[in-house]
Chains A and B, each alone.
Chain A
Amino acid sequence: MSFSLKKTYSIILFLAIFMIIVGIWNPHALMDGLQRGSLYALIALPLALVLGILGVLNLAHGEFLTVGFFFIYTLNARFGLDPLAAIVPTVIFLVILGGIIYLLTVKQVVNEGHLSQLLITFGVSLVLLEVINIIWTSRARNVYTNYAYASTEIAGFRFGTYELLYVVAAIAVLIGLQLFLKKTRLGQATFAVGQNPKGAKIVGINVEYVYLFVFSVAVGILGIVAGTMLPRTAIFPAVGSPFTLKSFALAAMAGLGNLNGILFAGILLGIGEAAINYIPNYGGWSDIVFFGVLIIVILVRSYRGAK
């Protein structure tokens, strides 16, 4: 895992210039992109954490998010709990669920090849998706809150304020993770395991425990995402699935283990996507941004690595 900011200065500069250009052209695209980009980064952070420490690409990532959505939805429908307040029980629930699923499945393949890891998490994602399908059916649902559509106006430019919460949440989760990894004993152990699991084991770190902890916490973070997203999102069983690949796109762009980079990459791609969305008649092409950029970044990296 790399935590140096030096390498990312050029990326930040590029991001700033890009934001200014888009902002001058269409401030709505900038605001929209900033918000959705932070959301992408927020969802990608736990995936990158698991990828960086365990080396496992969790294909069930999006489905864990969906489980979080439906858990909060149920809390809201049964007990009238506000989605944001429901984050606390949801995080606890997801940590336990993630832990159980880790112990039952991922734990067995964590030291094996990528193929069994990808396949087992794919199997888990299918199971989660279908269980959600069986319990809640495929009908789309949403939760109404009166604050979710609030907006404010600055100098004639009107934008939704609720989505700014995504930006706050993404930064908060990122800082929280960084502080945890640097300042706490368990965090430092996690960091060590991410760098060299064998070495960590030799110096007496309980690697198994760290893996379990990281996986559970990563799934738990999705509870925060679910709670903040739910007021603005209609949910159905497949709602979380596209986020798995998008999250991996960000993790690959940022480089393995580079948590800060994910936030920048997320905002960059979010703004790019929003900018294309606002071009009349060509809005449909915005979906290509993530995958196009992902392919280009991977290729550029591989060529640089080859030299």
Chain B
Amino acid sequence: MKKNLFILALLIIAATLPLYAGAYIMSVFTTILIFMALSLSWDMMLRTGQLSFGTAGFFGLGGYASALIVAHMGFNPLLSLLIGAIFSGLVAFGLGFVVLRLREIYFAITTLALTHVFSVIIRNMDDLTGGASGTQLSTAIFGGNPTKIYYMILVIALLVIFISEVFKRSRIHYAINAIRNDETTAKSSGIDVFKYLLFVFVLTSAIQGLVGAAYVQQYAFVNPESTFSLNFLLLPLAMALVGGIYTTNGPIIGALALGLISEYLKLIMPYGHLVVYGIIIVIVVLFLPQGVYKPIRNKFLKRSIVGGDSNANT
């Protein structure tokens, strides 16, 4: 009950933010929500035991698909978000048949290499994509209205949170956990491992494409350097790890914490503010391997449920 009230309060704060927050605060939270959605999508893939480094790649693909379809074919920008998601999903579907046979570090590195391959291909298709200098759209989505953009991204973030919760609560959760814990056992219990992996891979890639499209439409600009920037991989990854992986709350908390801290640090030290970011990551990995969310939650839970296994099903 308490928990539901808390979530409701957060939702109300998020929904009414534009009423009292200035343009700056809103842009900060828009960015945080973008990274939150990416972080969750990365974590959802991780729940199957596959460490994906392709987040930035599918993010960029979705962004490019959406930008090009608006620039060349005059699509409705809002509709183009969907195109971005579908395009990334389709590419992931095609690649999934080959890439998802890989495991562990090889899967991670192949997805990272794919990100670079996407970026090189796009840089060299000058006629369509504008090459290294990128493509400028005539106007940002909603004419650049920050409030509407904030709501658009809030809706996307809530959608991703919802999908992540569905993942945790539906039957698919058992299959995914089984695959992560022991693939051979999962297979012998009749789980079609590849089918589930492909499903999660396509879904998370589509989410990344959707977020990428929203990001690109917000700034009305794509170029290979910034759209495929590894920041869209590393920051979400760090956020999920700081908050705690394999949960919905972890990436959300991580995105809020790291997003706000790095924004504050950007103000007090314009150069090299990421140094503290790196230190935070090192400290979290060394001393809080479960992220910050679980230890804190367990501490509170221990008061009420003594001896209960509070780690189960998270």
Contacts and interface: CB of A to CB of B under 8 A. Distances in A.
Interface of A: 57, 105, 108-109, 112, 114-116, 118-120, 122-127, 129-131, 133-134, 137, 245, 248-249, 252, 282, 284-285, 287-288, 290-292, 294-295, 298-299, 301-303, 306
Interface residues of B, number: 41
Contacts of B46: 115
6 contacts: A126-B275, A130-B272, A245-B109, A252-B106, A298-B109, A302-B103
B124 A284 contact: yes
Nearest to B105: A114
B282 A120 contact: yes
Given A119-B238, A133-B271, A291 B117 contact: yes
A302 B104 CA distance: 12
Interface of B: 46, 51, 98-99, 101-106, 108-110, 112-114, 116-117, 120-121, 123-124, 234, 237-238, 241, 245, 271-275, 277-282, 285-286, 289
A207 B237 CA distance: 31
Nearest to B131: A284
Given A116-B289, A134-B271, A299-B98, A288 B281 contact: no
A123 B285 contact: yes
B278 A125 contact: yes
A306 B101 contact: yes
Contacts, number: 122
A113 to B, nearest CB: 9
A134 B98 CA distance: 43
A299 B102 contact: yes
B103 to A, nearest CB: 8
A295 B241 contact: no
A104 B272 CA distance: 21
Contacts of A125: 278
A299 B101 CA distance: 8
A119 B241 CA distance: 9
B124 A131 contact: no
Nearest to B230: A241
A298 B102 contact: yes
B271 A285 contact: no
B286 A130 contact: no
Contact of A116 (B113, B279, B285): B285
B123 A284 contact: yes
A259 to B, nearest CB: 18
A103 to B, nearest CB: 12
A212 to B, nearest CB: 17
A291 B116 contact: yes
Contact of A302 (B106, B271, B286): B106
Given A123-B282, A131-B275, A294-B113, 14 more contacts: A119-B281, A120-B281, A120-B286, A122-B237, A127-B278, A131-B272, A134-B271, A245-B112, A245-B116, A248-B109, A282-B124, A287-B123, A295-B113, A301-B106
Nearest to B101: A302
